[in-house]
Amino acid sequence: MEFEEFENDKNLSLTRFEKMLKTNRILFFDSNEFENIISYYLENGKINLAKKAIKLSLEQHPASSNLALFRIEILIFENKLDNAEKLLDDLVFSEPSNEEIYIQKANIYSKRKLHLRAIACLNEILKFSSDNPEVYSLIGIEYLFMEDFENAKINFINCLKHDESDYSALYNIIYCFEILEQNESAIEYLNNYLDSNPYCEVAWHQLGKQYLFYKNYKKAISAFDFAIISDEYFIGAYIEKGKALEKLSKYQEAIENYKLIIALKDESSYPILRMGICHDKLGSYKKAIEYFNDCIEIDSQMNKAWYLLSTIYYKNQDYNKALLNIKKALDINSEKEKYWKLYAKINIGLKLYEEADIGFQKIIDLGEADESIWLGKADILIKLGEYNYAIDILDECYEVFEEKSIITYRLSGIYFLQNKIEKGIIQLKKALKLNEKNKYIFKELFNNVAKYKYVENLLK
């Protein structure tokens, strides 16, 4: 039967079935018609209609194991596992070679987290159908649930061996290689696979990503080029190629590459964002701003575009515009440490120290604070005159920081500001002894104190 004819018959069966439901008249359908009707409803998420079709189908064809399996599938979906298992046990005696029975039984074991029993069940199928790619894939998934990535990989490889077009198996194989940190083996496997499948764009794409892992950007670009030759509409390959070109500082080439994505009628904002980043790297700030604004026009929730706009304005000391854009980014995503860090730096530029302190505190609350954040907060507290609070933070930092002089220069300055001259001199001498090169810290933070005659003499 031709495909078009099959589709027409299926549509006719659906029309008859739905008309029957509306009129409450019972019509007869053969078992194949029922299978098509039930499959359609299940594929389209119309579970209630599927259940009605299953009930009626089993009334008309009580001996059909395929229709019974649909009923079992619904029971498993509704988590009525005991009922489903009882029906499967009845079926297995009458049809011991029916693969679907074992698959559904394995599905029940899997839902109960009895993954080894599910695997044993699936292995029963391989006794009479050893070249079944679907079964190898299902076994691989069970091993993934158990986090046994080595055995999962072996089964996905067997799946791909029997069905070279199963790209989900290929993705899973590479995933297992990566989790097992076997990237070199992944490259070897992909190259062998490509020997017999030279136009597999997915394999070339994955090979390129493996080369990216080793920072072999030239080989990665070559692999992405082959992916594009195999499928000129493969957007993922263009994107990865562009990022590899950026890593080689070939920003103009990357821009031309991203333009090709837009020429393919891709409506996403991502290639526009990357072009903005490239222009920013080239120092073409006006162009970069144009692209980031275009990106926001397409997707106003693209927080990264707002953040990158803010960084350009900050670099150019246009702090008011920088602040406006970083606030937009934070409205969308307030969990990004680098956004709050830029927010703090912008407010320092605007001499809004209390706002800057809020930025540093947010980073600390997120649990992302590094040395620069703790020091930044201490420096802000010094500017706000919160000397004792600043000393508390610096004392804690002294315990964990390797470079002690950056703490002692700050402590010295605070003591001078508190008019504790003797303590200030002790700490300054200590800092100079630890690392004289870092005395610029004292001069930058405590410029007025550095002009005191006795301090100036110490610094000299």
Which residue range forms the structural domain that includes residue 386?
370-460
Q: What is each CA distance from 100 to 72, 145, 378, in whole angstroms?
A: 11, 21, 67
- pLDDT value at position 31? 84
What would the two tokens of residue 206 be? 């994955």
Q: What is the CATH number of the domain that holds 413?
A: 1.25.40.10
Q: Cβ(84)–Cβ(75) under 8 Å?
A: yes
Q: 3-class SS at 322?
A: helix
- pLDDT value at position 83? 81
How far apart CA 8 and CA 169 sit, in angstroms, is 33
How far apart CA 316 and CA 427 sit, in angstroms, is 37
Count CB-CB contacts under 10 A for residue 165: 11
The reply to whether 63 falls in a domain is no
The reply to whether 167 falls in a domain is no
The reply to whether 343 falls in a domain is no
- pLDDT value at position 92? 74
The reply to whether 403 falls in a domain is yes
The reply to whether 156 falls in a domain is no
- pLDDT value at position 7? 53
**What value does the mean pLDDT of the chain take?**
91
- pLDDT value at position 56? 85
The reply to whether 400 falls in a domain is yes
How far apart CA 310 and CA 271 sit, in angstroms, is 19
The reply to whether 389 falls in a domain is yes
* Ranges of the chain whose pLDDT falls below 70: 1-10
- pLDDT value at position 59? 81
- pLDDT value at position 155? 97
How far apart CA 378 and CA 390 sit, in angstroms, is 5
The reply to whether 285 falls in a domain is no
- pLDDT value at position 1? 38
N-to-C CA span, the chain: 97
Number of domains, the chain: 1
